[in-house]
Structures are given as structure tokens and as C-alpha cells.
Structure 1
Amino acid sequence: MTAPTLAYESDLATIWLGDARDVLPTIPKESVDLIVTDPPYSVEWQSRRRAESFEQLLGDGDNDDDRAVISAVLTQCVRIVGQNRHLYVFGPAEALAGQKVSEVVELVWDKGMLGSGDMTAAWGPQHERVSFCTSKFRHAGETGKANVPTRLRKGSVLSFTRPTGRKVRHPSEKPWPLLAELIESSSRRGDLVVDPFAGVGSTGVAAILTGRRAVLVEKDPRWLPIAVERIKAAEAIALQGVAA
């Protein structure tokens, strides 16, 4: 297994090229404020609707090995996120099975348009599930709860139009305003947000543009140049706001 490589580092963001199973163990326990991530969970997604089709994502297979990798990464996420702090994991809730977290609440991302899938079916997919939960990592007997910022009693349907056409840089890219909604609902300015399946860095962009910091990990080198470029652009915007 190739050792992780530091692809980019600044005061606001750190980007690693490598396996999250190697990177996350180097992060101290309960030192992170929020996890927002989209694992390649048994989708086997491959584009056939673009002039240049995307190849299948690394780790995006419906088999026990890929699921075990994702489970191991999420275990590390639970370890590093603060007590009673939040995790948002795109995909089926079963990805969090067996983790030391609270009961999972399922949110729904309404994409605003039909997605890909079986084009012969009468109904097309227009939504994606997001699992929300709280870390319960500490052993029994430890006291104290983090004063977690959150917008209480919000609706469970999040309506944000997904990227389309030439704006699509990654086959499972999420719109950064959607991620900003999650980040602002579960963290404060200056907090640290981690995404171990970073893709083209949308979580990092959302974190920086909402005044947070980000650590991103991505093992597929195809996406790193795009992620770095987007993070630098978001930092430039954020710095302009500070200067103003």
C-alpha cells in the first residue's frame, strides 16, 4: 500500500492523496468537529451519458472487500470526531451499521431533476439519502457534553439542484451549497471539517466558504488537481471577504 502524500496545505485546508485508512489514524481522537462524506458505497456508477464517460470510481464495487474498507474508514471517523458531534454520510444507512453512533436519522437530498439509472423504468431517481448521526465514542462513565451548534427541528428534505452538463467534474459530485447547509447546521466558524472520500473537494469548498477549516483525503489521483484548484479558489474568495 502506497504511503499517503500531502498534496496541499494551508491555514484553511489540508489535502491528502492516499487511503483514508492510513491518514485518519494519524489524527488525534476527538479532535475533529464534523464529518461530511460521500463513500463510494456499492453503486458501481459509470457514466454513459457524456461525450467523455467517467470511469468507475475506485472502491465503488458491490463486494465485501469494498464495504469493509468503507466500514474501517467510518470507524476512524467516529474515533476522531468530538463527543456528541455530528456525522453526515451520503448513501444507505447500513454503511454506519455497528458504529458507535446515535440512532441514524435519514435525510433526503432532492436533486431537482431526474438522475441516471434504468432509462426504461417508469420512475427515475431524483433523490439521494444522507445519514445523520452523533458520535458516542467515549466509554461509559465519562461526563460532559459538547455544546453542539445545530439548527433544531429542520425539515429532512434538502432541495439543491445537482451539477449538470459541463459543470460536472466528478460522477458523484455534490453541490457545495448543499454541503454548506449541513456544515452550517452542525458546526461553528473556525471548526474543523473532515471528508475522507473527498473527490473533487466540494466539502472543502463548502467548509472554507462558510468560515471553517477542512482536511480532505482522496485516493484517486484523477481528482486531486481539480480539488486543489477549487480549494485555492475558495480560499481566495474567503480572504477577499476578510479583507473587506
Structure 2
Amino acid sequence: MTPWKRKEVIGGCTLYLGDAMEILPSLDPADLCVSDVPYALTTGGVSKSSKTMSGIFAAHNYANDGQLIMATVPFPEMMAAIYGALKSDADCYVMANDKNVHPLTDAALKAGFQFHNLLAWDKITPTPNRWYMKNLEFTLYLWKGRARTINNPSAKQLIRGGVSKITSHPTEKPVPVMAEYVGNSSQRGDVVLDPFMGSASTGVAAVQLGRNFTGIEIDPTFFDMACERIRAAYKAPDMWSQHEPVDQLNIGGAA
């Protein structure tokens, strides 16, 4: 019996519906991981719901101000599984908010990763907060095995770009942000992994850059959304391949 509930192959992309912790050990090692990993969310100092959360996106809970909270798994288990799903020499980008940077870094180092850099995405439009409005999200740039220079060594830590959502996914990320990471740490034909693909922004970036993609999503609605976006990406022009990586100052729209 397979560990996934459904599998879709679209071009060079293979998408799995199911729990990443169960599916990752069964996959061939990938060349790169780029993922907005799940973690508990709170806003404006309002504490999150006291409901017990288990599994990855296994349930949708809400804080008492109506903010959606995603169920998650402990970072140590998550990062160990990602580490094991990558080739012996591979880069890894995982996104986190300010409250989760330190525990996620600690888990990554204990899993065997080494730390390259802390990158930042300026969303331009801030999230309200009583202790400074939040306009930044962070990305841990990690590596496994042999360290390699990125394809564009002039790329900067900070990426600026809007957050115009085009899907109903609550934590959708811009394709150009994910394309910056994919373009800098992989080659055409490489396999890019996102074990928590959501609306598949990383997958769309991989398609646009001529990479293959392996994505996992536990929510059936978001899985269908991801399949639709990947199919649409193959019908669109290969817009990034001729000028990769993305211009950090003009990434513009969101995905």
C-alpha cells in the first residue's frame, strides 16, 4: 500500500496527496528543497487557540480573533525528514516568521544541515501588530554535504515584492520569491522538492525555470489547486529561463 492517497504526474512534476512525514521516506532524493513549512500562527499578540494540533495541515484551527492557524508537526521531526529526502550535496530553503526562526534553525542544525544565511522577504504591506507592524518573513538558507556557490553570487539577502494573492490559500507565497531560491540553487532538469506545497508556488517557479518538481500536500482542496496551477504553468511561456535568477528589485506581483 502506498503512503499517499493520490498521485498526479504533470509534465516533469509529481504531486502527492498525503502526509509528508509518511511520503518523504519513499521518494528518490531531490536536488533542492524550497518550502514554506507549516507552523502555528498568531497575530497582534493574540494567543492562539488552545485546541490540540496534530499532523500537517490535518485541521484548520482559529485564534480567538479569527486568524487561521495551521496544524503542524515538531520542527525536529520535520527537518530530519527533509534532510533525509535530499541528495548528499543539496541546498535547502525553509521559510518562517520571526517567532519561529530560532527553533527552526536549531532543528535544522540538529538534523544535520549547516547554516548559510538568513534571508528576508519584504512584503511591503505590513501585518498589524502591537509590537511593530510586521512586513518581513524570513528564509533559512541551509546546505547538506558540500557547500556550493549560488548561481548569482550578487543576489542580496533582501527580496522586496507585493503579496497580491491569486488563490484562496491562506499563506500563499509569490512565485518570484520562490523562483529566486530555485534559480540560485539548482540547474535545469534538477528535482526541486516542496513537502508542504500548498498552492504550489514553488512548483510553478520550478516549471517556469525548467526544473522538475516533487510536491506533497495533505489538504485535498489545496492539492487540487496545486494541480491546476501546475497544469496552467506548463501552458504559459517559460518566462524566467532566459534571465534567471529573478531581479530582486523588480519581482512585482505574487503567485
* TM superposition score normalised by structure 2: 0.75
Compare the two structures and name the one with the higher strand fraction: 2
Q: Whole-Å Cα distance in 1 between the matches of residues 10 and 238 of structure 2?
A: 12
Corresponding letter in the other structure for 1:159: R
Cα pair 1:211 1:238 within 8 Å, conserved? no
Q: Paired residue for 1:140? A: none
Q: Whole-Å Cα distance in 1 between the matches of residues 148 and 95 of structure 2?
A: 25
Structure 1 residue 241: Cα displacement: 10
Q: Paired residue for 1:186? A: 185
Cα pair 1:93 1:104 within 8 Å, conserved? no
Cα pair 1:34 1:187 within 8 Å, conserved? yes
Deviations along 1:94-120, one digit per CA (max 9) or x if unpaired, are 2142121112521111111112x43xx
Structure 1 residue 24: Cα displacement: 0.7
Structure 1 residue 3: Cα displacement: 4.0
Q: How does 1:16-165 map to 2 (within 5 A)?
A: 16-28=16-28, 31-44=29-42, 55-59=68-72, 66-67=73-74, 70-91=75-96, 92-97=101-106, 98-115=110-127, 117-118=128-129, 121=130, 123-136=132-145, 145=146, 149-164=150-165
Q: Whole-Å Cα distance in 1 between the matches of residues 149 and 42 of structure 2?
A: 36
Q: Paired residue for 1:176? A: 175
Q: Does 1:4 align with 2:4?
A: yes
Specify the SS of the correspondent of 1:9.
strand
**What is the RMSD computed on CA atoms of the aligned residues?**
2.8
Structure 1 residue 71: Cα displacement: 2.7
Corresponding letter in the other structure for 1:5: K
User: Cα 1:9–1:80, aligned 2, differ >3 Å: closer, same or farther?
Assistant: same
Structure 1 residue 213: Cα displacement: 0.8
User: Cα 1:217–1:110, aligned 2, differ >3 Å: closer, same or farther?
Assistant: same
Q: Whole-Å Cα distance in 2 between the matches of residues 14 and 56 of structure 1?
A: 27
Specify the SS of the correspondent of 1:128.
strand
Q: Whole-Å Cα distance in 2 between the matches of residues 153 and 75 of structure 1?
A: 31
Q: Whole-Å Cα distance in 2 between the matches of residues 147 and 123 of structure 1?
A: 36
Q: Paired residue for 1:221? A: 220
User: Cα 1:162–1:47, aligned 2, differ >3 Å: closer, same or farther?
Assistant: farther
Deviations along 1:136-183, one digit per CA (max 9) or x if unpaired, are 3xxxxxxxx58665322421111121224xx24211110001100110
Structure 1 residue 13: Cα displacement: 0.8
Specify the SS of the correspondent of 1:214.
strand
Specify the SS of the correspondent of 2:230.
helix
Corresponding letter in the other structure for 1:212: R
Structure 1 unmatched ranges of 5 or more? 60-65, 137-144
Q: Whole-Å Cα distance in 2 between the matches of residues 17 and 89 of structure 1?
A: 20
Cα pair 1:198 1:217 within 8 Å, conserved? yes
Q: Whole-Å Cα distance in 2 between the matches of residues 40 and 96 of structure 1?
A: 14
User: Cα 1:123–1:39, aligned 2, differ >3 Å: closer, same or farther?
Assistant: same
Deviations along 1:5-44, one digit per CA (max 9) or x if unpaired, are 234113311111111111110123xx31110011112325
Sequence identity of aligned pairs in percent?
27
User: Cα 1:162–1:21, aligned 2, differ >3 Å: closer, same or farther?
Assistant: same
Q: Paired residue for 2:53? A: none
Structure 1 residue 81: Cα displacement: 1.6
Q: Whole-Å Cα distance in 1 between the matches of residues 152 and 239 of structure 2?
A: 28
Q: Whole-Å Cα distance in 2 between the matches of residues 71 and 163 of structure 1?
A: 32
Q: Whole-Å Cα distance in 2 between the matches of residues 207 and 218 of structure 1?
A: 17
